[in-house]
Structure 1
Amino acid sequence: MSHSTRYARGFHHTLCAAAVAAGLGTSTAFAQATAEGTDANAEQSKSKLERIEVTARKTQENLQEVPVAITSIGAMELQEKGISVLTEVQQFSPNTTLQTSRGTNSTLTAFIRGVGQQDPLWGYEPGVGIYIDDVYMARPQGAVLDLLDVERIEVLRGPQGTLYGKNTIGGAVKYVTKEMSGGTEFNLEGTVGSYSQRDVKVTGQLPLIDDKLYLGFGFGDFNRDGFGEFLVAPEGQDRENYNKDLTAARVTLEYHPTDNLFMRLNWDKTEDDSNAKGGYRLVPSLLTDAPVPDNVYDSYTSLPTWNKVELEGLSLMINWDVTDALSLKYIGASRESYSPTNIDFDNTGNNLFDVPAVYDDENTSHELQANYLGDSYTVTGGLYAYDSESCGQFDAILGGLGLTLETSGCNNSSSYAAYVQSSFDLTEKLSMTLGARYTDEEKQASVFYGFLLGSVYPYSNWVDGYDRGADVGVPMSLGTDTDGDGVLDAPKTADWSRFTPRVGLEYQMDRDTLLFASYSQGFKSGTFNPRASTNERAADPEIADSIEFGIKKDWGDSVRTNVTLFWLDHKDRQYIVVEADPNDPTVLGQNLGNAAKSENKGIEAEITWAATDNLTLDMAFGYLDADLEQDENITVPLVGLSNTPDYTLALSANYQLDTDFGPVAFNGGYYYRDDYLLFEDNAVLEQDGYGMVNLSVTWESVNGQWYGGLHAKNLTDEEYMVGGYSFIGGIADDGSYLPGFGGDTTLVGYYGDPRTVHLTLGYRF
């Protein structure tokens, strides 16, 4: 067995399965989604295929008329499949990775078409944008959203640099909440399940002023025991591992002062008090008694097991329909997050390599947007401003050496943009799309980096801002010398500007067939290294150029196929290259640079077949072939893209049955992910291909007030890694691992959920 697959879980992808998947994928494609509230009287002749509304281009449109690769999953489908968190959406979108990161239940790892960001440290920018009602979520902490009062979720694949701006070079995920109906509504829902799962959701709305002012609310309390335990932990600490203790709340105020003016004020808050996650040791410790546990969800720790993720946001949207053709919209938002956390890297009962950390982020944004609908053209344009403060601290406690390596600082940014996109008819069937966005961005960064004697923890004297290191005598390693005395004493700055275009051609061959081709560009912000040990320069922005060819077609009233071929040139990929010195366990070089470029090409195919009035079959297939080219100046070789399997495949069936006690829906699904690496710079942590089987049955009473569902996830109990840490000093001739940073072999994995079953019952009026 090779080192690259020794610790992978799951089963191998067979050539037969690959051939079947490829054959299906080249035949046709997509459409899997519903949007509750769709106008049933919309002009259409379809008797079985639904009309799906999306807002991918900042205005409401029919999915089949939008020349973008999109998966949209509506509220009804989410309910029928028992989808409860954002990460489960990856199973229905080709070439998409949405997984819970290491360390917490709420931190998101997102990749689309091989583009994303694995490291959640402050200052790093994501490659996939996450949006809640068109408000950008800048940080991955807290981005694993529990679905509460959701209308639909849209996954936009490929660079979205024109309409959505920076940090969407892989794509964007949009979480759209329900707009209020104007009446009085109340919904109470409870769930019980495996590992003592006990969830409660309360949502509703009521009119404060009839036809004018409405108040909406939502609250969720989500609890579950751990999948495993900490076999060793400090005295008095909760030993549950992979447990869940989270609350989420939303309050919405909607105001309709006139028929053409609409205002919405949103507040939301999430508190995740689940324990810190402990990793599974893949090799025994060299320095203490920590053998490989029998259960992949078991761990050891010398740190406290508590953890916290706090998120809070406030947003205001004002929409004014100036005329039948012109509408103006303003979206303003403020979000903040605070997350003290405990990450035991070595996962032993000794503090060989422990990392308690604090993340603290605040950001504000303002967007003014105009939409104009002409006789033969549409125009969308706007102005955007964004400002953020992103700070943090982590203490790498090396107890065996009696030292703590402290790193702290801030990586703040301000960004301004103007954009416009227009689609216009060239002939009766041929149209063209032209778009452009200009972005100007500035970053300020400072890093304090140095060793302290003994074990140091950040929580007791955490100070907002980059002066934390100075408080305890850690020198500034990245900054500016303002007075010329040779000592860094102020943040370092860098600025970038970028013009990102989009050009597309769309051919409406007939009423049910859209052919399209497009070129688009996106960029991910340049940034400073938040772990910098020297006064290094900032990494340049990443640039992605994408070409797509697609077809969206409805074949009669029962088959819908959407297929996209894409080629993506991803330049100046930012990587932290970690170089541990096997001769000195206190040396860990972590240099940030534009270390590589890649060419990612592939196909995405989604098919819906309404086989009968009751039975619907769906398939979503993705194939991606990546060619990674490394910068010759990087000494540590990059071996491939992380979190990016070559193949993804989802097959599902839905059967609707009418009974005397109400409609019943049966859902069955199979999801497959091919092999993928956890890290770009080594193949030690690699997950073999695996498949999951999910089954659900849901019911609704005749009057629609009562509903319920029984959902079984991961029925075959597959074990699959979604994160990990690799700090080893290399591989000896006999195949054993050499000690790395901290003097031990730190090689751990974090795993996705095991087999679970849960029952939901709800009442609404």
Structure 2
Amino acid sequence: MNGIFQRALLSTLLSSVATVSLAATDTAPAPGAPSAADSASDAADAAPEVDGITVTARRREEDLQDVPLAVSVTTAAKLDQTGTSSIVQLTQLVPTLQVLSPNARNTALTIRGLGASYGLANDGLEQGVGVYVDQVYNSRPAIATLDFMDIQQVEVLRGPQGTLFGKNTTAGALNVTTVDASNAFGGRVEASYGSYNYLQAKATVTGPIIKDLVAGRLSFVGAWRDGNLYNPVQKLDQNALESKGVRGQLLFTPTENLKVRLTGDYSSQQPECCTQLYVTVGTTLKPANQQYPALAAGKNYRPPSTNPYDRLADVDDAIQADQWLSGVSAVVDYDLGWATLTSVSAHREWDWEPRNDRDYTALDVTRRSNNPSHQKQTSQEFRLTSNGARTLDWTAGLYYFEQNVTTHGVTEYGSDAAYWLLPATNSPASLLEGYTVFNNSTIDTTSYAAFGQLTWNISERLRVTPGLRYTQEKKDGSYVQTTSGGSVTTDTTLINRRLGIARPQAFSASTDDGSWSGQLAVAYDLDTNLHAYGTYSRGYKSGGINMTALPLTSANLPSLAAAVIEPEQVSTFELGLKSELFDRLVTANFAVFTTQVNDFQANVVDSGPGALRGYLANVERVEIKGAELDLSTRSVGGFTSYLNLALTDGKYDSFKNGPCPLERIGASTAACDLSGKELPGLSRWAGAFGGEYRRSTSFGSLAGDAYAGVDASFRSAYFADTADSIYTRISAYQIINLRAGFKAEGGWEAFVTVKNAFNEDYLQNITVVSGNSGLVVGTPGDDRTVNFTVRASF
């Protein structure tokens, strides 16, 4: 721990010169306002408001209530108050957003049940939820696992955003805005300590570099925590946390009409993570001697616990989930008077260096299953947006994006592999011991788009907003898999058995297609504080290329027909009502929607005997419908509250050639008709609600606000794999977090948070282990933790 405390002390000393708070206001200022967020933080913390929230969901600054879209906004103040430090944790505040993240690379984000198919990552599968940070698209979902840094607000846009956000946003978008540098010198420091030796340090400093010309901002965040699982085999804690990030910004304002924002960021995570634990054993259609109970008994194997909430792991090889993310961007806004010209230039990179014991046991079945990846992307966007037009507000633009993802993977089998993966065949252990599979893949994506959207203000009450985008996208991919090791044999039967686990294969493929996407929205003001809207939106996700070993045919050969999958098309109809009631005391927004997806791109898992082969496939048709309520109140006698509720029903309308669930897997691979089954990863009911009481008080000469709050969230049961196995259903759960603290008038604050206060047992994810013996593993959610935080702004 000495190194941790030294890093925390160093960050505190470096930021001791800071003098103004990070934006922590619930009435978010317009992006680009140099110092309003800092100067308003005390007032916002003292009495959070819900009206006047400015969003950029349509690439212009608008009041949230005027936008004919279902948008959830979480401001810096709410993130601070609830202790929400990442997109993964944001799901407890925004129930329509779901994140499954067994590790950074296999993170899947969905909105209203759409966005990504759960399963092992495939570089050829694009996410349907676009994550934008300061207008820059982040292709890799691993960004969801990073700690928030210098956030102004997070907007969750629900439904296809195919006009202005464009790049594969068939399910929705996360529009993240960070705080601008300020010409007023200042900053903030924060430190937290808690359960499992959790330590987090944050620091921000901002101020003028050249007065009235150049301002700068520098922010740091670091978090460390011991593992919350114990491994008695290796005698160490696992699933730890170790994360660091830094963000720097220069803001140039040479004239009133020109603003240039240069940003650079670097983040790293190097935790001993992420393993999974025994959850259950499913019964398959295989003979009894090929199923987990008999196989485990034959090796005298018992897991350290059959209760995942005992938090005992027994993997016998090292694990790691190291990643590095970095990027630079330049955002230029030039006010021409009649319009504003915006240029967004960016380059980002992601490095992923994992290490896994993929059998999740102390047995020597799969020693290693590592897929290190490197991704780099470059993007350029130009937009021209009208200023203050009375009849027509419009935006037009051009977009360019290119990306390369390269992966060099390795899987190595051990001395128990032949026994476990080729049961009842009497194959010698040497057949697979040391058998190593190397895979090398690369995929290049180039995308061009032109788009335009306008709002026709027909009258003071009626507005019509059409938008259209055309995208041309090309992908070129290649995959090579080679093998080595294992015993030397001339026995054809044994050779074929080994090749059934993994065989050499190589292929190249490409796609090149163009598509139209967009929306049509009609909004009508029923009253000053009552707005109705209807929206039709269409999203499009380009065709994909399987960047993994292809599934095998009945002849035990790679199925080349599975190399390329069809584009995905999404259509959504939405009706909404946005209101401010009781003299704007209550804000209540309601929406109903129905969505149809054709050629839904799913990540399915081959049910063959070897390593888990995640590959892409098209689901003929998916249907989703639902209703959502977002409600919040202003301060009444010091009390504020919120309620977010979602009812969502999703199913495979047609999936005739789907993967078989675990309970229907026999001795050979077979396809199953999943039509009518529930869409995985989607809870029928999900919600978040909470409240805070805040009161001015004093302790002797110390004056300020004392407060206490509660935040609760719940999800009904859902399936955690594409095949809807009864053994991979995550049960319903609810989480209650508590917080209390004191904010002094002098600018410092101290508070305590209790997360999962009632120690609810729940699972974050579930995985069927390779070989389909019936073993099912998963990751338990965090148990009750207590953290104490002190922050000061000057």
Superposition TM-score, scaled by structure 1 size: 0.85
Q: 1:642 aligns with which of 680, 701, 707?
A: 680
**Structure-2 separation of matches of 1:510 and 1:177:** 34
Unpaired runs of 5+ residues, structure 1, are 1-31, 41-45, 456-472, 480-491, 729-739
**Structure-2 separation of matches of 1:622 and 1:668:** 20
How far apart are residue 107 of structure 1 and its match? 5.7
Partner of 2:759: 717
**Structure-2 separation of matches of 1:762 and 1:33:** 18
Partner of 2:152: 151
Match status 1:348 vs 2:361: yes
**Structure-2 separation of matches of 1:153 and 1:375:** 29
Which secondary structure state, in structure 1, belongs to the residue aligned with residue 88 of structure 2?
Answer: helix
Match status 1:103 vs 2:103: yes
Which secondary structure state, in structure 2, belongs to the residue aligned with residue 299 of structure 1?
Answer: coil
* Aligned positions of 1:20-59 closer than 5 A: 34-35=27-28, 37=36, 49-59=50-60
Identity %: 27
**Structure-2 separation of matches of 1:191 and 1:441:** 45
Shift in CA distance, 270/587, structure 1 to aligned 2, threshold 3 Å: closer
How far apart are residue 476 of structure 1 and its match? 4.6
**Structure-1 separation of matches of 2:605 and 2:736:** 37
Q: 1:282 aligns with which of 271, 279, 282?
A: 279
Query: 1:72-130 CA deviation, whole Å, 9 max, x = no partner?
Result: 1111121111212222211222322134x1135x8632111110213433222111111
Partner of 1:316: 330
Partner of 1:465: none
Partner of 2:530: 513
Which secondary structure state, in structure 2, belongs to the residue aligned with residue 532 of structure 1?
Answer: coil
**Structure-2 separation of matches of 1:97 and 1:387:** 27
Higher helix share: 2
Match status 1:205 vs 2:206: yes
* Aligned positions of 1:242-391 closer than 5 A: 242-283=239-280, 286-287=295-296, 288=299, 289-291=301-303, 293=305, 294-296=307-309, 297-323=311-337, 325-353=338-366, 354-373=368-387, 374-391=389-406
How far apart are residue 242 of structure 1 and its match? 1.8
How far apart are residue 587 of structure 1 and its match? 7.9
* Aligned positions of 1:642-721 closer than 5 A: 642-660=680-698, 661-683=703-725, 684-704=727-747, 706-721=748-763
CA contact (8 A) 1:290 1:300 kept: no
How far apart are residue 524 of structure 1 and its match? 2.0
Query: 1:436-484 CA deviation, whole Å, 9 max, x = no partner?
Result: 00000000011112432249xxxxxxxxxxxxxxxxx9855221xxxxx
CA contact (8 A) 2:657 2:672 kept: no
Shift in CA distance, 182/670, structure 1 to aligned 2, threshold 3 Å: same
Shift in CA distance, 668/386, structure 1 to aligned 2, threshold 3 Å: same
**Structure-1 separation of matches of 2:716 and 2:656:** 29
Match status 1:554 vs 2:551: no
CA contact (8 A) 1:137 1:143 kept: no
CA contact (8 A) 2:730 2:766 kept: no
Which secondary structure state, in structure 1, belongs to the residue aligned with residue 160 of structure 2?
Answer: coil
* Aligned positions of 1:10-159 closer than 5 A: 34-35=27-28, 37=36, 49-99=50-100, 101-104=101-104, 108-117=107-116, 118=118, 119-159=120-160
Structure 2 letter corresponding to 1:644: L
Match status 1:747 vs 2:747: no
Shift in CA distance, 523/752, structure 1 to aligned 2, threshold 3 Å: farther
Structure 1 letter corresponding to 2:360: N
Partner of 1:571: 598
**Structure-1 separation of matches of 2:316 and 2:263:** 41
**Structure-2 separation of matches of 1:478 and 1:182:** 56
How far apart are residue 626 of structure 1 and its match? 1.4
Query: 1:11-64 CA deviation, whole Å, 9 max, x = no partner?
Result: xxxxxxxxxxxxxxxxxxxxx964254798xxxxx9964310111001111001
* Aligned positions of 1:399-438 closer than 5 A: 399=414, 400=417, 401-402=432-433, 403-438=435-470
Partner of 1:447: 479
How far apart are residue 574 of structure 1 and its match? 1.5
**Structure-1 separation of matches of 2:54 and 2:533:** 19
Structure 2 letter corresponding to 1:692: I
How far apart are residue 593 of structure 1 and its match? 2.0
Q: 1:532 aligns with which of 532, 549, 555?
A: 549
Match status 1:523 vs 2:555: no
**Structure-2 separation of matches of 1:120 and 1:253:** 36
Partner of 2:789: 760
How far apart are residue 394 of structure 1 and its match? 2.6
**Structure-2 separation of matches of 1:253 and 1:171:** 30
Match status 1:502 vs 2:519: yes
CA contact (8 A) 1:278 1:298 kept: no
Unpaired runs of 5+ residues, structure 2, are 1-24, 30-35, 41-46, 282-291, 418-431, 488-501, 551-557, 659-670
How far apart are residue 670 of structure 1 and its match? 1.6
Which secondary structure state, in structure 1, belongs to the residue aligned with residue 148 of structure 2?
Answer: coil
Pairwise CA RMSD of aligned residues?
Answer: 2.3
Partner of 1:395: 410
Superposition TM-score, scaled by structure 2 size: 0.82
Structure 2 letter corresponding to 1:552: K
Partner of 1:19: none
Shift in CA distance, 207/268, structure 1 to aligned 2, threshold 3 Å: same
Query: 1:740-760 CA deviation, whole Å, 9 max, x = no partner?
Result: 25xx54421022222111111
**Structure-2 separation of matches of 1:34 and 1:355:** 47
Shift in CA distance, 637/193, structure 1 to aligned 2, threshold 3 Å: farther
Match status 1:630 vs 2:650: no
**Greater RCO (CA < 8 Å, at least 6 residues apart):** 1
**Structure-2 separation of matches of 1:76 and 1:47:** 8
Partner of 1:614: 638
**Structure-2 separation of matches of 1:88 and 1:698:** 21
Tell me how many residue pairs correspond in the alignment.
676
**Structure-1 separation of matches of 2:739 and 2:241:** 22
How far apart are residue 313 of structure 1 and its match? 0.7
Which secondary structure state, in structure 2, belongs to the residue aligned with residue 281 of structure 1?
Answer: strand
**Structure-2 separation of matches of 1:219 and 1:591:** 38
Partner of 1:482: none
CA contact (8 A) 1:116 1:126 kept: yes
Query: 1:539-591 CA deviation, whole Å, 9 max, x = no partner?
Result: 1111110000001011122111100111111111122333324xxx3486655
How far apart are residue 607 of structure 1 and its match? 1.0
How far apart are residue 596 of structure 1 and its match? 3.4
How far apart are residue 654 of structure 1 and its match? 1.5
